[in-house]
Amino acid sequence: MRFRSNLEKVLTENKFAITAEVGPPKGSDPNKIKEKAELLKNSAHAFNITDNQTAVVRLSSFGGSVILLNMGLEPIMQISCRDRNRIALQSDVLGAASVGIRNILFITGDHQSFGNHPEAKGVFDIDSIQLIKIVKKMRDDGVFQSGDKILATNPDIFIGGAANPFADPLEYRVDRLEKKINAGVDFIQTQSVFDLDRFNIWMDEVRSRGLDKKVHILAGITPLKSLKMTERMKFHVPGVDIPDRLYDKMKKTDDYKKTGYEVALNLIDEVKKIRGVHGIHITALFWEDIIPNLVEDTNLMAR
């Protein structure tokens, strides 16, 4: 069987996939990407390059993905609908495919008011579900959204999307996942899991609809490094749900890193047991050096 990417191969063969985030810098120094990638290269099957995450200007996801390719690593290039119309979005997909990027994750994007240019004009010409549908038709049918034919090779992309099991109402979050599956998504990375009870309820509904058989789900894992980070994520990052009991645990500890690491280990161990979860996506904000330890201590060495 021919696979578009190593990530697709791992997931299709029912192995537990590991992806990790490599956040681009607020500047053009490629070494910032290279240093993180060198640290993580043996700890994940593929590496997310975010697209101006939280609406803050950073080195582009395309540029970061090319840097990884040149290192022999496999990127997951993120593309946000916030900053581009459908013409630019389709063009970026073609450009990514032309240089060998095979995994692309499509998101609607954080609103620009959350970032460092709140006066910027958000585009939001289409949302992630519409974009996923467009890219699937580009890949499988060789046509653009306009109906025009692609004349020089379809973009052979493993299509990714995001899901948030923690926003209300729960039924709507599963409905939205189902819409992405129907649009053509191949794999899903979820928002960071801290509330296991809520995540299990979401997965129960996912399984009841048979959606876990139609898409590969990777659960988000974010180790908490400090109380400040915990409070920022709990109170200021949209879509993140940190239960009060976990917040209290971080407030009471004498060693934030040790406690945060133990919490992450436990979350990974529990997520591995959930039927329908096919892997994890680790986002260690400004704490990337902890990822190899997490992967080793949970017996998830990727390579």
The DSSP annotation for 111-149 comes to: -GGGSS-TTSPP--SS-HHHHHHHHHHHHHH-B-TTSPB
The answer to whether residue 1 sits within a structural domain is: no
Q: What pLDDT shows up at residue 83?
A: 96
For residue 302, being part of any structural domain is answered with no
Phi, psi of 255 (to 5 degrees): -140, 95
Domain count, the chain: 1
Tell me what pLDDT residue 2 has. Answer: 87
Of 192, 129, 207, 193, give the one whose Cα is nearest residue 161.
Answer: 129
- Domain interval for residue 13: 6-297
Q: What is the mean pLDDT of residues 101-120?
A: 94
Q: Residue 70: its pLDDT value, please?
A: 98
Q: What is the pLDDT of residue 302?
A: 52
Q: pTM for this structure?
A: 0.96
3-state secondary structure of 295: helix
In a domain, 188, yes or no: yes
Whether 118 is in a domain gets the answer: yes
**What is the predicted pLDDT for the residue at 255?**
96
DSSP H or E run through 196: helix 196-208
- What's the rounded mean pLDDT across residues 66-77? 98
pLDDT at 286: 81
Instruction: With respect to residue 76, please indicate whether it lies within any of the assigned structural domains.
Output: yes
CATH number of the CATH domain containing 19: 3.20.20.220
Residue type, 110: D
pLDDT of residue 171: 87
> What is the percentage of the chain residues whose pLDDT exceeds 90?
92
In this prediction, residue 220 carries a pLDDT of 98
Whole-angstrom Cα distance, residue 239 to residue 168? 10
